[in-house]
Copies of this chain bind each other. A is one copy, B any other.
Amino acid sequence: MATPAETDIAVKSISPYGKARSTVSGAPLAPDELKKIDDYMRASLYLCLGMIHLKQNPLLKEPLKVEHLKARLLGHWGSDAGQIFTYIHVNRMIKKYDLDAFFVSGPGHGAPAVLSQAYLEGTYSEVYPDKSEDEDGMKRFFKQFSFPGGIGSHATPETPGSIHEGGELGYSISHSFGAVFDHPNLISITMVGDGESETGPLATSWHSTKFLNPITDGAVLPILHLNGYKINNPTILARISHRELEALFIGYGWQPYFVEGSDHETMHQAMAATVEKCITEIRGYQKKARDSGKAFRPFWPMIILRTPKGWTAPREIDGHFLEGFWRAHQIPIPDIAKNKKHFAIFEKWMRSYEPERLFQDGRLISELRELPPKGNSRMSANPVGNGGILRKPLHIPDFRDYAIKVARNGHALGPSMENMALFLRDIIAKNQTNFRVFGPDETQSNKLDGIYAAGKKVWMAETFEEDADGGNLAFAGRVMEMLSEHTVEGWLEGYLLSGRHGLLNSYEPFIHIIDSMVNQHCKWIEKALETEWRVKIASLNILLTATVWRQDHNGFTHQDPGFLAVVAQKSPEVVRIYLPPDGNCLLSVMDHCFQSENYVNVIVADKQEHLQFLSMPDAVIHCTKGIGIWEWASNDKDAEPDVVMAACGDISTQEALAAVALLRQHVPDLKIRFVNVVDLFKLISAADHPHGLTDSAYSAIFTADKPIIFNFHSYPFLIHRLTYKRPGNTNMHVRGYREKGNIDTPLELAIRNQTDRYSLAMDALQRLEGELHNRGAATREALLDEQIRMRNWAFEHGTDPDEITNWVWPY
Q: What residues of chain A have their CB less than 8 Å away from a CB belonging to chain B?
A: 1, 3-6, 8-10, 12-13, 15, 55, 70-72, 74, 109, 146-154, 156, 165, 167-170, 195-196, 198-205, 207, 210, 230-236, 239-241, 243-253, 255, 285, 296-299, 320-321, 324-325, 441-445, 449, 457, 459, 461-464, 466-467, 469-471, 473, 481-487, 509-510, 512-513, 515-516, 519-520, 523, 526-527, 552-558, 560, 562, 565-566, 568-571, 715, 717-718, 720-721, 724-725, 729-730, 739, 742-745, 748, 794-795, 797-799
Assembly CA distance A5 to B326 (angstroms)? 37
Chosen A-B contacts, 18 in total, with CB atoms closer than 8 Å, are: A6-B296, A8-B299, A148-B552, A195-B441, A203-B204, A210-B239, A230-B441, A232-B441, A232-B449, A233-B481, A239-B459, A239-B463, A240-B461, A241-B462, A512-B519, A519-B560, A526-B739, A725-B730
* Contact among B72, B558, B743 with A798 in the assembled complex (CB-CB below 8 Å): B72
Separation in Å of the A630 CB from the closest CB of chain B? Answer: 26
| B residues less than 8 Å from A321 (CB atoms) | 466, 469
* Contact among B13, B200, B296, B527 with A170 in the assembled complex (CB-CB below 8 Å): B200
Asked whether, in the complex, the Cβ of B239 is within 8 Å of the Cβ of A462, the reply is yes
Assembly CA distance A237 to B5 (angstroms)? 24
Copies of this chain present: 2
Separation in Å of the A748 CB from the closest CB of chain B? Answer: 6
Separation in Å of the A204 CB from the closest CB of chain B? Answer: 4
Assembly CA distance A200 to B325 (angstroms)? 28
Asked whether, in the complex, the Cβ of A742 is within 8 Å of the Cβ of B555, the reply is no
With A251-B248, A444-B232, A484-B199 as contacts: A794 and B148 at CB distance below 8 Å: yes
Asked whether, in the complex, the Cβ of A743 is within 8 Å of the Cβ of B797, the reply is no
Separation in Å of the A468 CB from the closest CB of chain B? Answer: 10
Q: Which 8 A-B pairs have the closest CB atoms?
A: A248-B251, A167-B557, A200-B200, A152-B555, A203-B204, A512-B516, A239-B461, A247-B251
Closest B residue to A252 by beta carbon equals: B248
With A200-B199, A203-B203, A445-B232 as contacts: A466 and B296 at CB distance below 8 Å: no
Asked whether, in the complex, the Cβ of B510 is within 8 Å of the Cβ of A168, the reply is yes
Assembly CA distance A10 to B299 (angstroms)? 11
Assembly CA distance A33 to B187 (angstroms)? 59
Closest B residue to A174 by beta carbon equals: B200
Closest B residue to A55 by beta carbon equals: B798
Assembly CA distance A715 to B519 (angstroms)? 14
Assembly CA distance A483 to B231 (angstroms)? 10
| B residues less than 8 Å from A203 (CB atoms) | 200, 203-204, 207, 484
| B residues less than 8 Å from A742 (CB atoms) | 149, 152, 527
With A515-B515, A553-B74 as contacts: A462 and B154 at CB distance below 8 Å: no
Closest B residue to A152 by beta carbon equals: B555
Q: Which of A246, A445, A566, A748 lies at the interface centre, i.e. has the most chain B CB atoms within 10 A of its CB?
A: A566
Closest B residue to A250 by beta carbon equals: B247
Separation in Å of the A329 CB from the closest CB of chain B? Answer: 10
* Contact among B165, B234, B248, B748 with A461 in the assembled complex (CB-CB below 8 Å): B234
| B residues less than 8 Å from A240 (CB atoms) | 210, 253, 461-462
Assembly CA distance A570 to B299 (angstroms)? 45
* Contact among B234, B486, B743 with A459 in the assembled complex (CB-CB below 8 Å): B234
* Contact among B487, B519, B520, B717 with A200 in the assembled complex (CB-CB below 8 Å): B487
Separation in Å of the A580 CB from the closest CB of chain B? Answer: 23
Closest B residue to A445 by beta carbon equals: B231
Asked whether, in the complex, the Cβ of A250 is within 8 Å of the Cβ of B569, the reply is no
| B residues less than 8 Å from A469 (CB atoms) | 320-321, 325
| B residues less than 8 Å from A4 (CB atoms) | 250, 255, 299
* Contact among B443, B473, B526, B720 with A724 in the assembled complex (CB-CB below 8 Å): B720
Assembly CA distance A109 to B243 (angstroms)? 37
Asked whether, in the complex, the Cβ of A798 is within 8 Å of the Cβ of B483, the reply is no
Asked whether, in the complex, the Cβ of B200 is within 8 Å of the Cβ of A553, the reply is no
Assembly CA distance A109 to B467 (angstroms)? 24
Asked whether, in the complex, the Cβ of A748 is within 8 Å of the Cβ of B148, the reply is yes
Asked whether, in the complex, the Cβ of A201 is within 8 Å of the Cβ of B200, the reply is yes
Asked whether, in the complex, the Cβ of A199 is within 8 Å of the Cβ of B483, the reply is yes
| B residues less than 8 Å from A482 (CB atoms) | 198, 236
